[in-house]
A and B are shown apart, each in its own frame.
Chain A
Amino acid sequence: MLGSFDYHERRDAALKAVLDLFTATTGLPIGLFETPDDGVEPIISTDSLENFEEHCKLIRSFPGGNDACDRDQCLRAQKTFERAKGALSCCHAGLWNQTVPILVEGKVRAVLSFGETLLEDGEYMQKTLARHQSAVDRLNLSPEQAGQLKDALQTVKKHTPQDISKFTDMLAPIQSFIFGTIDREEEIAHNLEKVVHELQTRLQAVIANSENFMLEAPYLKPKEIQSMANDLLSSAMALVVIVNNLGDFQHAIKFEEKLLRPLFVEAWRIYAGEAKRRNISLRLNMNRINGQEPKAEISHQHLELAVNNLIHNAIKYSFDGSPNRERFVEVDGNVEGPYYKICVSNYGIGITPEEIEEGKIFQDGYQGKLTEGEYRTGSGKGLTFVKRVIERHHGEIKVESFPKGSPEEVGQPYLNRFTIYLPLHQAKRKVSQTPR
């Protein structure tokens, strides 16, 4: 973690400060509930006992009272999580509490619960008294204890439902803002961590190749020198790809007619070492246009990096080949109307239909669900960059992923296909014509 910064600690401190301010201002105790996977529990709260009503302190002091109160709070918070809607509800002992869902981008991140109050309205008081009696019976309180509790009930603060509504309106946006802000900061830091990881890995390759070359060069034959120099260049070029993915590529777009095949040949050369170590080969089949090598008006530097990313992804997410099972990355190119259609396919870790339909796979920093557990280093920036480049070429990129083999198969393989529609000409492109 960068600088060992704990976002949860920082977020909790910010949330607690707001909760403390609420209690100091209104006199009402308040708790915040987050839901871990296995159930609802209060994570932070100003529920230090001195903020509780005497009534609540008393009931918690009776045998079974504390558990009953905690259970009751958690159940009410759970209902708010499920419905994503707040509610004014009566606790098991007759006091009224408001639950408020904290929503960030439509999802319930936590629930606030505040109150321990009586409501000044006949109907509410009726319910209070009924629940109160029920708690007395359930906890099996002695007449003396029941008397003490009834007396304490008389001292509980009173509010109107309108007061509670005002407090809610004040609280919810502040808490949502805090959660949302810290969530975003955490995501940025996490993405940065992934980028640093990827950079350091590529730097490691450059340093290793450089030193090996330096130490061995005096003893190498010319072909060996060339091979090691090539490895060094490839590892440096792979680093260039990562660095360029990070920002908006600063070089200006400049279209000129260029051959397309060399882009893929060069991209493969950069990652050839990795592909070879994993027994993955390239099948390149780019059909000619009117008998000529395929060309298009492209911004060469941009498209070169986009192709490098595509080929790198295809290799990275392929399953390893073996002597008995060939694995390959296939690149097919054909003219289709005013476009040159290029398909980059691989056989390996798949992409879910939701990720494709919702465009998540092209989102900055996104890592595919099916890559989790596979531990393949990546910053999640490559495909974002590719999409941006293709769109700047007025083209389109589509992705498909077809499961192969049995669903029960561990690490089920997928046939993945990225299809690019690249306009052959930029100046003469008709606005009305769009790829299928």
Chain B
Amino acid sequence: MSKKIIWIEDDVGIISPVVRPLERAGHKIVSYTTVNEALKHMSDLESADLLLVDMIHPPGKNNDLSHYPGLDLVQKVRNEFKWDIPIIVLTVVTNAEVKKQLDKLNIAAVINKPVRPSILKEEVEKALGI
């Protein structure tokens, strides 16, 4: 059963092979390199079956949580848009404060990179219930 997955990832140019098994299984992956770009395509977001989100480590030294755009997006989806859509976080960010915030947002899984593509496919399909 083919599903639409929106992937927000600033390094998609480098790590796109990680979603290859998902694509080969017939799922449609639509990627955006920034949160702002994703938010400009609301119809895509609204029609997605799952969001795959990188926290996107901000430049600068400030560890203020508001500087993690991925976290902003997840909070917006849950608290402002009030969408129930499954969200998986796939990231290198291990900031404890970020994790604490994610725990409050009903995330299906938080996966730290690097991850094997087969594992990512398993987690995505588990979150999608297929």
Interface of A toward B, CB cutoff 8 Å: 1, 4, 6, 186-187, 190, 193-194, 196-197, 200-209, 211-212, 215, 231, 235, 238, 274, 277-278, 367, 371-373, 375-377
Contact = CB atoms under 8 A, between A and B. Distances in A.
Contacts of B113: 200-201, 203-204
Contact of A1 (B12, B60, B95): B95
B10 A211 contact: no
A208 B17 contact: yes
Nearest to B63: A1
Contacts of A205: 14-15, 17-18
B129 interface: no
Given A1-B63, A4-B96, A186-B61, A201 B117 contact: no
A201 B92 CA distance: 8
B118 A200 contact: no
Main secondary structure of the interface of A (DSSP, over half): helix
Given A207-B115, A367-B59, A375 B69 contact: yes
B117 A211 contact: yes
B117 A208 contact: yes
A55 to B, nearest CB: 40
B57 interface: yes
A372 B60 contact: yes
Interface in B17-69: 17-18, 20-21, 33-34, 56-61, 63, 69
A79 B58 CA distance: 33
A375 B61 contact: no
A212 B96 contact: no
Contact of B117 (A4, A202, A212, A375): A212
Given A187-B61, A371-B59, A375-B69, A277 B16 contact: yes
Interface string B93-130: 01111000000000000000111111000000000000
A303 B83 CA distance: 52
A209 B11 contact: no
B115 A278 contact: no
Contact of A207 (B13, B59, B114): B114
Main secondary structure of the interface of B (DSSP, over half): loop
A375 B69 CA distance: 10
13 contacts: A187-B61, A205-B15, A205-B17, A207-B18, A208-B15, A208-B20, A211-B116, A212-B21, A277-B12, A277-B13, A367-B59, A376-B10, A377-B11
B17 to A, nearest CB: 4
Contacts of B58: 375
A201 B17 contact: no
A36 to B, nearest CB: 11
A197 B15 CA distance: 13
Nearest to B34: A375
A197 B92 contact: yes
A204 B114 contact: yes
Given A1-B63, A211-B118, A375-B69, A196 B15 contact: no
Contacts of B59: 367, 371-373, 375
Contact of A209 (B17, B33, B56, B94): B17
Contact of B15 (A4, A187, A204): A204
Contacts of A201: 11, 14-15, 92, 113
A204 B13 CA distance: 12
B29 to A, nearest CB: 12
Contact of B115 (A1, A204, A215, A238): A204
Given A211-B118, A375-B33, A377-B10, A196 B18 contact: no
- For A200, A202, A206, A373, the residue with the greatest tally of chain B CB atoms inside 10 Å of its CB is A200
A200 B114 contact: yes
A332 B33 CA distance: 30
Given A1-B63, A277-B13, A376-B10, A197 B57 contact: yes
